[in-house]
Amino acid sequence: MMEMREFQVRASVETAVLHAWIDTGWLIPDGTEGRWTFREIDLGRVQLIQDLGRDFGVNDEGIVLILDLVDRMSGMRRAFGHLARAIRQESEDTRLRIAAGVREAGQDRVARS
């Protein structure tokens, strides 16, 4: 965890910009205002925001959309990780039935396309 000043230095972001990003929900620090802390993943998010706006010319509405998609993908990735761990704890027979069901569902989807 990083305090705000360290985060600003490492992220190369000004206070006003950081506050604006927090106000819009682009960044969600831990803690309360004045005692915010940030995680390493927040540095990556700032880098993405800066790259999108500065290097690719994406406007604010586009950044909102991209951040939403990134957040959704992260959530799905976590959910699939939990699911995979749960499946690994099942018997081999159950794992094989699940794998067959997944293959069958994938084939059904391709057939409908």
48 Cβ contact partners less than 8 Å away, ≥ 6 residues apart: 66, 67, 70
Q: What is the pLDDT of residues 15-37, one digit of tens each?
A: 999 999 999 999 999 999 989 99
Question: In sequence order, what are the residues at sequence separation of 6 or more whose Cβ sits closer than 8 angstroms to the Cβ of residue 3?
Answer: 36, 37, 38
Higher pLDDT, 112 or 88: 88
What stretch of H or E contains 104? Answer: helix 92-112
For 36-80, how does the pLDDT look when each residue is reduced to its tens digit (9 = 90+)? 999 999 999 999 999 999 999 999 999 999 999 999 999 999 999
Q: What is the DSSP string of 70-88?
A: HHHHHHHHHHHHHHHHHHH
